[in-house]
Amino acid sequence: MEPQVFTFANSPFVPVAIGFFGLGTGYFIWGGQALFGFPKTSPEVNRTMGIWGFWMPGFMQFITGVYLLIGLTWFEVFGSAPPLYMAGLAFTAYCVHWFAMAHRRYTGSSDQPDAWMAIAFLFISILESMFSTCERHPSDDHLCRSDVDLRHGDSDTFLFLDFRWPPGGPVSVRYSRRGGRR
């Protein structure tokens, strides 16, 4: 008995609208309550806001992030697009951010540690902006290069970033699975 092979066609439809809809709704609900002070903050309102924060921005970004990452790595239906990979990472990370904020608000926990979370999200935003320049500026190949191949297990290179900052000054970082810099 031979195994059945499935081949999926490339999809021109990237599901980012799902994540952006959830994110926009979350900002509308949480931002509107914070900006206008309506409804007034109370334990009941905080629990309701926590539920909305979990399901709309949190879960819808989770769906989008997982959909993108699986579509890019397992089924290869979106082609090879580093900006989409970074979008999948960002949607997944921000969904966890919304899950944490929603749970914190639902349970009435302190919001002070949220400030430390911003450091990790700044790093993700910087990486995403580096990779998103690939489609806007194809001549900037140094921003797009990556030897990471998660689908096929590239030989020994785990991470390779080559970017120029300040302009004209090349910076190259390589990490191997064996450890250490190359």
- Residue 173: pLDDT band (50, 70, 90) is very low
| Half-sphere exposure for 146 (CA within 13 Å, toward CB) | 17
Question: What total of structural domains would you count in the chain?
Answer: 2
**156 and 76 together in one domain:** no
**Residue pLDDT, tens place only, 112-164:** 888 888 888 888 888 777 765 555 444 444 444 443 333 334 433 333 344 43
Contact (CB, 8 A) for 47 and 33 = no
**Length of the chain, please?**
182
E-strand spans in 12-103? none
Q: Is 35 contained in some domain?
A: yes
**34 and 93 together in one domain:** yes
* Cα angle value 149/93/21 (rounded, 5°): 110
**Predicted pLDDT at 133:** 54
**Predicted pLDDT at 9:** 86
**89 and 161 together in one domain:** no
**103 and 155 together in one domain:** no
**120 and 162 together in one domain:** no
**Predicted pLDDT at 81:** 82
**Predicted pLDDT at 46:** 95
**30 and 85 together in one domain:** yes
Q: Is 98 contained in some domain?
A: yes
175 φ, ψ (degrees, to nearest 5) = -125, 140
**46 and 134 together in one domain:** yes
**122 and 161 together in one domain:** no
SS3 3: coil
The mean pLDDT of the chain is 77
Three-state secondary structure of 98-129: HHHHHHHHHHCCCCCCHHHHHHHHHHHHHHHH
**40 and 79 together in one domain:** yes
- Residue 36: pLDDT band (50, 70, 90) is very high
Q: Is 1 contained in some domain?
A: no
Q: Is 6 contained in some domain?
A: no
Going from the C-alpha of 165 to that of each of 46, 136, 147, the distances in angstroms are 44, 18, 20
**132 and 153 together in one domain:** no
**133 and 169 together in one domain:** no
**158 and 135 together in one domain:** no
**Predicted pLDDT at 132:** 57
Domain of 164, in residue numbers? 145-182
Q: Is 10 contained in some domain?
A: no
Q: pLDDT > 90: what percent of the chain?
A: 42
Contact (CB, 8 A) for 89 and 128 = yes
